[in-house]
Structure 1
Amino acid sequence: MGHPPLEFSDCYLDSPEFRETLKCYEQELERTSKFLKELIKDGNSVITAIKGYSLAVQKFSQTLSMFQFGVIGDSLTDDEINIAQSFQEFAGLLQEVEHDRMMLVQNASDLLIKPLEKFRKEQIGVTKEKKKKFEKDSEKYYSQVDKHLNLSAKKKESQLQEADELLDKERVNFYESSVDYVYQIHQVQDRKKFDVVEPVLAFLHSILTLNNLTVEMTQDFMPYKQELQLSLQNTRNHYESTREEMEELMKRMKHPSQICKMHSFLPMEGYLYCQEKWALGVSWVKYYCKYNKEGRLLIMVPCEQKTTTKQGPTQLMLKSCIRRKTESIDKRFCFDVETIERNTPVTFQALSEGDRKLWMEAMDGKEPVIFLPFFMSTVELNEIGFKFVRKCINYIETKGVSQEGVYRTVGSNIQVQKLLNAFFDPTNPGDVDLHSSDGDIKTITSALKFYLRSLSEPLMTYSLHRDLICAAKSDNLDFRLSEIHSLTYKLPEKNREMLEMLIKHLVNVCSHSEENLMTPSNMAVIFGPTLMRAKEETVAAMLDIKFQNIVVEILIEDYKKIFSYMPEDSTAPPVPPPRITPRKRQPITISKRPPRVYQALSHEHYQHTESNY
């Protein structure tokens, strides 16, 4: 079973569950680091131990076969399944040709060792540095919290204000470190899918093509190699699309205004100190509390348990919540809660004045916090929008359908805004002739994408988003197509009309892929997040972007079938549960023929370059 995604919002709560999940990711990272270290060592053995080459290859293949990719989310794309089982494919191939003596290419170190060492240094090393900073800021913040909460309310106001400001500063530092660390963990987990596999693929290719292998064996391996290279390229494209969205989400989550906004959709939970009275005095015990507003149920999980005894969570049913007057208690940020289970009120201490207000608002106390609504401008799917899209399509197909990288190259933001403002001017909407304007192809394509992304609801609607994602995750390719076909006709009429017009245009652009290098897969990476998006922006939603791309790729590749006729009314089979088990492939069969040596391919042959698309 894969690890659950780490949400940026969990960084703000810093719950025990979040810490436990983070620990699982750290163990996975350590396992990957040890694996890479072992892989690099074995690679060097293959390069240097010519006489013992067969033994080194056997050890190398065993190391590959034992490694399994960790899964983020609940499903894998076909390309990721192919990548996940690639090491087993490599290991099987090496075992079949173990008896043949191999000659290592001179540039084997550049193909394998350097890229893996670079990954360990630049990716895993950076992640470990982020972890150190996170742990340091965490310890510093909670140490400051304990010190802060023990301040007497009778201190001078200036001293209290200074203490509050110091705590706020430490809280911001800790939250930023936590978000940065979570972001880096997700990046290294995704990048290893291709940054680790590509060097191994390049190294393996050099072994197979530069040694006394038969022509038959090389020919049998080539189709799988090409399929894997395509899977690596598609996965890299999905990664780039997801990374940009996740990076934007991370930046927004760091903004102070986002912290207030999160309280509108996050459950009320966090750390509270509870006053407990004993025969010898009073103590303040730290709890992680969760409050269910509908059931008025407060769950208290103790955080400072002794090793000899373990205490389970305490559940209290709330009757009322009252703010504690400052002069009535020596502690700050306190409030009393009356419960059904206890005869006397329970006194809690929040982490700050703002935190106390949030708890009281959730518990219907006397000091609710009123948040200002968050507004944003939106664009509607109307007649002017249709006119704009038609004009853009006509311009692109007339002047730029063969231009290399069309739709991937981004235009000037100033020129894009200027064009949109002129076209959607309320005083004279649509009165712009694109052919007579100064706009170039990249300005027009960027404006078209910007318009579609600015719609108040994505073109393929929020209501169908989950069903479309589930269809894309199906292991049955025929059902995948028929379900997307059926769901397309559940779109509102205007949305379907706009979608059909746009996809027809993308089919036309992709038909010139030999010139513009825009295949259906590359085009889907661009238009997946444009035509589809989840209602709530979370890391889990970002991880589903690759399945959005698959939906759009199917729409392009099967345009005629989807839009030429209505789907059949036959009852479709239920969507099978998401799968993470790789499908079975036919084993590679190697036959013996006279040996032949081939020219080695450099590592750059396998590297992705943005300019190629």
Structure 2
Amino acid sequence: MVLKPLEFSECIADTPWFRQNLHEHEVVLEDAYKSIKNIETQCRELISCTRKLSLAQRAFAKTLTEFKIETVGTTQTDDERVIGNCLKEFGKLINQVEEERTKILNEAETHYLEPLKRFRVEAIGKTLHEEKRKYEKESTKFYQTLEKHLHLSTQRSFFKASLQYVAEIQSVQERMKFEFVETLSSFLYSWLTFYHVGHVIHEDFKPFLDGVQDRVQKTKESYKATIAEAEELKDKMLKTHAKASQTTNPSGSTASGSSERSSTIKQGYVYMQEKSKLPKTIGRDVLAGKWTKYYCVYSKETRIFTMIPITATSKTDMKGALGLSVSFKLKECVRRSSDSIDKRFCFDIIADERPDVMTFQALSEEDRRQWIDAMDGKQTVVVLIYFDNFFNLYPN
């Protein structure tokens, strides 16, 4: 918008056209006053949001710095070491950028917001309120006196106030071109400097980022190859297990039984029957206690049988579970027949130092066979007792 200039000669003449032109200048200054105040408010909101963003960025950087990527295995490769430390470097990069942002935020009030407010209040506000009030007061006084008689001193005061008011309006309009614009340009320049610093930091950090990307890509390719090998191994294991199950004969032995018997360690999950305190005269263990899950390990060389209780906390507190483990030397292992107990896949164990018989349930028929083979177990004693009774009843 282009306004007509306020001439001092027209100010002295105080024509209606001068008054109209003066009013247009006043309207423009009032709009500028409101707009600058709105800019101040929005700048404060922008700075407030930026402070929150900076806090969030620093919190994010802290989380990245403290995050640890654990390595599976005994040693770390160079790629794993770089990838493991890259998050810490990312956090340092973010903090470095936030340091520059903090400088802008710390200087915003003094260097940008206060100058804007000072120009609005002391320049535009003073002109629109104090100088305008003086001008209107002298104008009213002059024309009231003029209606009665010409008074030179009143005329001189009016001219002085009028000229001063016009000069202030012109001064504010000119100062707006450098004071107000200069403050805003400095504010924007500080943000551009911040973005430039971010660009410089990016250029300095780019080789490291590229190196991390290369190592990540290599790790990804290695992962894909490992997954393919793992799938092949899983299929092989499933086929081997299926083949072993198919070759099991009714007696519970397999073609590979000799090799399995040569294994020195047998371990796995089993369930042990808790013995009831009620009389044992009732058959088939109807009143037997509950079945408790254990992880058992048997060493064929030492004949030591170890039982580790499995509870809800043992998965996270293995040390505590090991503290509750029980070990004993195996004396005898016997396969339980299906008609002697309501559970399948059961076998009995007798310890050297414990007179009672412990009854276990394996996970499957094959699993029971492996346990019995590992412990050099015997077949069902019920069958032997039956034949002994038969020969006693019908002797030769």
Q: Do Structure 1 and Structure 2 share a fold, with TM-score over 0.5?
A: no
Q: Into which bin does the TM-score normalised by the smaller protein fall?
A: 0.3 to 0.5
What TM-score, normalized by structure 2, do the two folds share? Answer: 0.45
Relative to the length of structure 1, the TM-score reads: 0.30
Higher relative contact order (CA 8 A, sep 6+): 1
